[in-house]
Amino acid sequence: MLQLILGGARSGKSRLAEKLAADSQLPVTYIATSQPLDGEMNERVAHHRARRPAEWNLIEEPLQLARVLRENARADHCLLVDCLTLWLTNLLMLDDAERVCAERDALLECLVSLPGEIIFVSNETGMGVVPLGELTRRFVDEAGWLHQALAERCQRVVLTVAGLPLTLKGTAL
């Protein structure tokens, strides 16, 4: 089953995804996409680490998400990817439009053949003001297009607001 958990900053989306992964009763591999490049991001990463069960495996991969999913997806396993918007940011910072498209397309193409439970977490960025900078506008556009394409492929899509899940697609939580 493919699930997409969307929400704003501090909406409870990661906490919900972690609960769903734990409730799956499967071994869990947490795929972290962040690159903690400053003190504030280091604190966020430390907070996430402290919250995760010690028995969960961890893979840190900022760019080649499709490769990691193909290598680790199994019928008797749960993969939790947190988060797609950080992954997209990492790709956009390379300033290589072809690489962004190639990695996004590889992710979307591999989803149909992946076994097991896969939970994606991503920030919903398109509900606010249109950003002023070109790169920021491109990020919001790319995230929106990625979310739409993923939502088509996922069996469940959930929007999390104030810690409350609203099921947009699939069986309610």
User: Which residues are known to be catalytic?
Assistant: 48
The angle at the Cα of 83, spanning 82 to 86, to the nearest 5 degrees, equals 140
The H helix count followed by the E strand count for the chain is 6, 7
CA–CA gap between residue 165 and residue 26 (Å, rounded): 22
CA–CA gap between residue 71 and residue 20 (Å, rounded): 22
Please give the order of strands across the beta sheet that includes 2-7: 57-60, 28-32, 78-82, 117-123, 2-7, 156-161, 164-169
